[in-house]
Structure 1
Amino acid sequence: MLNTFTDQLGSHHSFEKTPKRIVSLVPSQTELLYDLGLEESIVGITKFCVHPFHFKSTKKIIGGTKKVHFEKIRLLQPDIIIANKEENTIEIVDELSRICPVWVTEIVTLDDNLKMIADFGTLFNKRTEAKKWTDKINFAHTDFQQFIKDKPLNKVAYFIWANPYMVAGGDTFINEMLKLNKFENIYDNHPKYEGRYPEVIIQKMRIQGDPDLVLLSSEPFPFTDEHAFELGRFTHHAKTVFVDGEMFSWYGSRIVKAFGYFKMLHEKIA
């Protein structure tokens, strides 16, 4: 008997039995699958899947998120491949669909994240584990809302890349995390900078929004003190803060740790 499931892009996938051999193309989703108790089922991961650490030596590395080795994946004989709309290109998904079903997630909001966890719980017969994680996230979220409610609003620019300088714009999970922290993103749907991760002219930062905080993410670009100094020259009064990019851009089970990190970040800023 076939069981049919629907991913977050609305694609339908049918299985005769629970998928047992999983290839994961997204670091945060690899971590989530592990936290749901699916370590033995994961057969392939990307080189960027750094959590849990021991996976680098126990799982097959099949390339990166934007460039995968199709033959390595084929040889793993997966039952399902887990991808993401932002991280993996449609060309990669189409090619991998010739091997087995490709489940694609789309995560912009916290609700999207909870939906993904619940979907994995159903898809992999891990409903109890999924419920535990959604409960943990909801509890941590409620607790953080209490913590943040009296904090002042800060205007921010969240940088993800240099040479050229690029920032997180609107319609991104990072932007949702900024909103949770009462950080008003000056590049959220900015009229002069279209796209989700626009390239910006840092010399015009002051007239484009004059941020209170310039946040330099630890990933995907390794920002240095030199970058912080250069950016600081083009703001009126902004404080430059190095932040843990995983806490702002990773979804899945990582969100529970993120809320604790955000508390420490606000204490550091204050």
Structure 2
Amino acid sequence: MITLKDQIGQEHSFEKTPKRIVSLVPSQTETLFDMGLEEELVGITKFCIHPYHLKATKIKVGGTKKVHVEKIKALEPDIIIANKEENTLEIVESLKGICPVWVTDVVTLDDNIQMIEDFGALFNKRTEAKKWIDKLNYATKDFINYVKDKESYKVAYFIWREPYMVAGRDTFINELLRLNRFENVYEAREERYPEIELRKIRIQGDPEVVFLSSEPFPFSEEHAFEVGRFTHHGKTVFVDGEMFSWYGTHLFRAFDYFKQIHERLS
């Protein structure tokens, strides 16, 4: 019998290692795959695109905000892996009658390491977990050393349009902006994803760089022009949303991308 607590404090007990996993978050699906759990993954979301071949080999059980409960039930999972931000409380509650629902909550780099460590304990993959944790810790230290002499910029990170929304405090995106030594002009707002008015952007911080993310809203040149009209001397940069918002092992792939952004800005 193993008893472990997830990242929202729920205690789960298992008589044996869970062997049938349904994953409701793309970055967690990728992490489980990277830890050698491809065979154990029986259900994923339609947004689980890394590695790409899983879309053809695994049962898709819906999205992150809407799932097919009966389809999940038919898979007879031993565990469902969800996330506090990506999946709604309603989804989590609706699935608890099927099997334990393990909920992650990743806001900081330490949370990310904890999630991987938890997966190692849950699925008897401690060696794989330690390998990834060591890789991530080394890559993080290397990047901190790289970025320490880079120029710091005041930035705004846009995630949505109509209404315009940006990444704020207590988000993994903000954590990665900090890691890059970017000053998020909306970090002081109480909301995690504040709605903003473009015409007030100069008053609210006047960012030197505006990042337009590729997800969840696919910003285009038209939107860059629209945003650019309201910034003072701000530079508008399109960024890969996966690199700033996907946690787990995906973070390891993000460091080279971040270095490219710094080279572009300099």
Establish whether residue 95 from structure 1 lines up as the match of residue 94 from structure 2: yes
Q: Distance in 2 between matches of 1:98 and 1:137?
A: 35
Which amino acid is 1:94 matched to? Answer: E
2:14 corresponds to: 15
SS in 2 for 1:206: coil
Q: Distance in 1 between matches of 2:7 and 2:131?
A: 21
1:41 corresponds to: 40
1:121 corresponds to: 120
SS in 1 for 2:258: helix
CA apart distance, 1:165? 0.7
CA apart distance, 1:189? 2.3
Q: Structure 1 stretches (4+) deviating beyond 3 angstroms?
A: none
CA apart distance, 1:31? 0.1
CA apart distance, 1:153? 1.4
**Structure 2 residue aligned with 1:236, among 220, 232, 239?**
232
How does the TM-score come out when normalised to structure 2?
A: 0.99
**Aligned pairs (5 A) from 1:75-86:** 75-86=74-85
2:195 corresponds to: 199
SS in 2 for 1:211: coil
Q: Distance in 1 between matches of 2:223 and 2:179?
A: 26
**Structure 2 residue aligned with 1:215, among 211, 222, 233?**
211
Q: Distance in 2 between matches of 1:141 and 1:103?
A: 27
RMSD after superposition: 0.6
1:186 corresponds to: 185
2:135 corresponds to: 136
SS in 1 for 2:202: helix
Q: Distance in 1 between matches of 2:127 and 2:2?
A: 19
SS in 2 for 1:159: strand
2:146 corresponds to: 147
Structure 2: segments with no counterpart, 5+ residues: none
Q: Distance in 1 between matches of 2:169 and 2:238?
A: 21
SS in 2 for 1:40: coil
Q: Distance in 2 between matches of 1:224 and 1:94?
A: 37
SS in 2 for 1:264: helix
Percent identity over paired residues: 70
SS in 2 for 1:255: helix
List per-residue Cα deviations over 1:14-64 (Å, max 9, x = no partner): 111000000000000000000000000000000111101001100000000
Q: Distance in 2 between matches of 1:19 and 1:253?
A: 21
How many correspondences in the alignment? 266
CA apart distance, 1:170? 0.5
Q: Distance in 1 between matches of 2:205 and 2:241?
A: 22
CA apart distance, 1:221? 0.6
How does the TM-score come out when normalised to structure 1?
A: 0.98
**Structure 1 residue aligned with 2:249, among 248, 253, 267?**
253
Establish whether residue 262 from structure 1 lines up as the match of residue 258 from structure 2: yes
2:164 corresponds to: 165
CA apart distance, 1:215? 0.1
Q: Distance in 2 between matches of 1:53 and 1:269?
A: 31
SS in 2 for 1:141: helix
List per-residue Cα deviations over 1:188-244 (Å, max 9, x = no partner): 122xxx411111101110111000000000111110001000100101100000001
CA apart distance, 1:120? 0.2
Q: Distance in 2 between matches of 1:44 and 1:172?
A: 27
Establish whether residue 226 from structure 1 lines up as the match of residue 222 from structure 2: yes
CA apart distance, 1:164? 1.2
